[in-house]
Structure 1
Amino acid sequence: MKPTSSSIALLACGGTLDKDYNPLTGELVFSQSCLAEMLQQANHQLNIRLETLMLKDSLEMTEQDRETLYQACLTSTESAIIVTHGTDTMTDSAEYLLARTEHLKTKTIVLTGAMRPFKLSQSDAMFNLGSACLAVQLAQPGIYITMNGQLFTAGQVKKNRQLGIFSD
C-alpha cells in the first residue's frame, strides 16, 4: 500500500454522471459538472483540485478528446488523478492512457463514472466517486477503472452491457 497523496486532481470529462434531466425536452443533458456538489455532499477531508476538461457523452468522444485528457494527466502537478468519464467508452480512454504509460509512470490514474446520473435518484455516482477517492490514494502508480465497488487494471476490464456492470 502506498502512502496517501497530499493532493488529488479530479478531472471531469462528462458522461452520465454529469447529466441532468431536461423537463422541457425529456432528454438527459449537460449544464455543468455535478462534481462540486457531490464533493460538498460527501463532507470529504481531501485536498482535491477540480477541473472540467469537457462535458461529453463518451460515445461522442474523439481521439482529440482523449489526447486532451492525456495532456491534462501528463501536465498535472498531482500524482493522484481521478477522471470522471462516460461508461460506454471508459475502457477505450483507459487503454489510450495505458498506451502512454511510460510518460505517466509516476501517476495513479483512476477512471470512474455512473450508470445513472447523480441528479436522478438511485444513482451509483456517489458510491463510485467515493471508491475512486480511496483507490487513487491506495493503488500503485498505473491506470485503473473503479466501478461497482471494484478496482480494475486498465486493459483488463470490460463493460457488461446486459448486467450494467464492469468486470474483468
Structure 2
Amino acid sequence: MLILNSGGTFNKKYNPLNGELEIPYNNDVIERILQSADFDYDVAGVIYKDSIEMDMNDRKMIANIIMESKDDTFIIVHGTDTINITAEFLSEIFDDRKIILTGAMNPFEIDNVEASLNLGIAIGFAKAKTENAVYICMNGFIEPCQNIVKNKTLGKFELVK
C-alpha cells in the first residue's frame, strides 16, 4: 500500500508570521497519524497544494505515479474541493487497482480527530476491501467515487441518491 500526499486542508498549518494557513512541503501530519499504527506504510509527497490550485497536469502526475508503482492499493490525501474531479479522472484510467481518496474539512493542526479518523478508515478499508475501484472516504462514508459528493452549502460529504 502506498499513501500519496497531495496536500489539501488536511495538511494545512498556521503560519504565525503572515497569519495564513499554508500547506507545508512535508508529510508530517500523515506520519504523526501513522505513529499509532503497528505497521509501516510507504508515504510519498506528490504535490503539496490546495486542491483548488490543482490542475490536469497534477492529476496526470498522480496517475503516472500509480501506473509506475508496483503497489496495487493506494490512499491519496487530497483537498476536498476537487477530490471528486481527481477521483473521476483516476476512475477513467484504473480498474485494476484500489484507490481511496481522503481528506479533511479542517486542518489536522486545528482538529486532529477528523483527519485521523478519515485516514484510519481509508487504511482499514484498503486492507479489508478486495474490489478494485476508486473510492472517496469522507465524513464516515467510503463509497465508489461516483456515489459521494461534497455539499458545499452544508460543508460535508453526502451520498448521491
- 1:131 correspondence with 2:121: yes
Deviation track 1:120-139 (CA, whole Å, cap 9, x = no partner) reads: 13651001000110111122
Percent identity (aligned): 35
Report the AA paired with residue 105 of structure 2. Answer: M
1:35-82 superposed Cα distances (whole Å, 9 cap, x missing partner): 112211xx1123411000110000000100000011111122111110
- Structure 1 stretches of 4+ with a deviation exceeding 3 A read none
SS in 2 for 1:124: helix
From 13, 29, 35, give the equivalent of 2:30.
35
Cα offset, 1:106, TM superposition = 2.5
CA root-mean-square deviation: 1.3
SS at match of 1:53: strand
Counterpart selection for 2:71 from 49, 74, 78: 78
Q: Distance in 2 between matches of 1:45 and 1:80?
A: 18
Give the TM-score, by structure 1 length.
0.88
One-letter amino acid matched to 1:60: E
Structure 1: how far apart are the matches of 2:60 and 2:45? Answer: 15
> Equivalent residue of 2:100, what SS?
strand
Q: How many residues align?
A: 156
Equivalent position amino acid for 2:65 in 1: A
1:14: how far off? 0.3
2:64 is equivalent to residue 64 of structure 1: no
C-alpha deviation, 1:155, in angstroms: 2.0
Structure 2 counterpart of 1:114:
104
Q: Distance in 1 between matches of 2:105 and 2:143?
A: 17
User: What's the TM-score, normalizing by structure 2?
Assistant: 0.92
Residue of structure 1 aligned with 2:9, choices 7, 13, 16: 16
In structure 1, distance between residues paired with 2:78 and 2:10: 8
| Runs of 5+ consecutive residues of structure 2 not aligned to the other structure | none
